Amino acid sequence: MADQEKSNIAVYGNRYRDNITFEHIGDEVIMKGGSWFRYGLSNDYSVAYKAYVDDGGTEPIEVFEKLVHQYDDEAKSYTELARKYQSYVFSSKEISMVDPSGGPYISLGMNLKQFWPKGDYQDLIVESIKFVPNEKENTEDENEKYKSTIIFKIK
């Protein structure tokens, strides 16, 4: 393991014993390693909220974002508002989280300082996440085929 107090490289061993490497360069942290991962996209509520307001809705968007997903346990269905406007909620193109199989889960706004418990790298707040596909996608080795690089823009 790298001397994480002095090095810009940190290695994280996840629960499946994969070594995930983090390298801090300028205003980016580059994550490599692991075989499989999932990622999530942020919701874009702009179209749904516009339709809601056009229909006379008065709640601020922060409240609307919760109401549009509200489920009525007693009726065992989504609320009328949720049923009406959910189809207008779309995924944005912004990746909001990545989760390599076995960890670590990382999302927008998280501080990556946990990978550098000491030293200079204490305020590494994730501002954006970029996925870089593996150049070896045509390989026959299944373990290499799905490895990817994730670049975190930090503030």
The whole-angstrom separation of Cα 105 and Cα 116 is 16
What is the Cα–Cα distance from 10 to 25, expressed in whole angstroms? Answer: 12
pLDDT confidence of residue 1: 43
3-state secondary structure of 8: coil
As averages over each run of 10 residues, the pLDDT of the chain (155 residues) reads 65 90 92 84 94 97 96 95 95 90 93 82 89 67 63 89
Residue type, 73: D
Say if CB 129 and CB 28 are below 8 A apart. no
Which pLDDT value is given to residue 118?
Answer: 74
**pTM score:** 0.71
Pair of tokens at residue 103: 């960890």
